[in-house]
Amino acid sequence: MVTRDNRKVVLVGTGMVGMSYAYALLNQGACDELVLIDVNRQRAEGEAMDLNHGLAFAPTSMKIYAGSYDDCTDADIVVICAGVAQKPGESRRDLLSRNAAVFRSIVEPVVRSGFNGIFLVATNPVDIMTRITCALSGFNPRRVIGSGTVLDTARLRFLLGDFFTVDSRNVHAYVIGEHGDSEFVPWSQAMLATRPVLALCEEDGGDCCECDLRRIESNVRDAAQQIIKAKNATYYGIGMSLVRITKAILGDENSVLTVSAMLHGEYGESGVYVGVPCIVNRNGIRRVHTMALTDEEQAQFHASCEVLRDVYAEIEL
Query: Can you give the binding site for ligand NAD, defined by CB under 6 A?
Result: 12-18, 38-40, 43, 81-85, 102, 105-106, 122-124, 126, 147, 151, 179, 233-235, 238
Signed CA dihedral, 36, 38, 41, 47: sign only:
negative
Determine contact, residues 277/96, Cβ cutoff 8 Å.
no
Annotated active-site residue 179? The verdict is: yes
Residue 39 or 209 having the CB closest to ligand NAD: 39
Residue 129 or 197 having the CB closest to ligand NAD: 129
Residue 164 or 273 having the CB closest to ligand NAD: 273
**Burial bucket for residue 98 (CB in 10 Å: 0-12, 13-18, 19+):** middle
Cα angle vertex 44, ends 42, 45, to 5°?
Answer: 65
Q: How far apart are CA 256 and CA 278, in angstroms?
A: 5
Least distance in angstroms from the C-beta of 102 to ligand NAD: 4
3-state secondary structure 221-243: HHHHHHHHHHHCCCCHHHHHHHH
Residue 189 or 234 having the CB closest to ligand NAD: 234
Least distance in angstroms from the C-beta of 294 to ligand NAD: 27
Q: Report which residue's Cβ sits closest to ligand NAD.
A: 15
Least distance in angstroms from the C-beta of 292 to ligand NAD: 27
Residue 100 or 135 having the CB closest to ligand NAD: 100
How many C-beta atoms surround the C-beta of residue 191 within 10 A?
Answer: 15
Least distance in angstroms from the C-beta of 315 to ligand NAD: 15
Residue 216 neighbours by CB under 8 Å, 6+ apart: 156, 159, 160, 163
Cα angle vertex 203, ends 197, 208, to 5°?
Answer: 75
Least distance in angstroms from the C-beta of 18 to ligand NAD: 6
Q: How far apart are CA 271 and CA 250, in angstroms?
A: 27
- 179, 264, 289, 302: the active-site residue: 179
Name the residues annotated as catalytic.
179
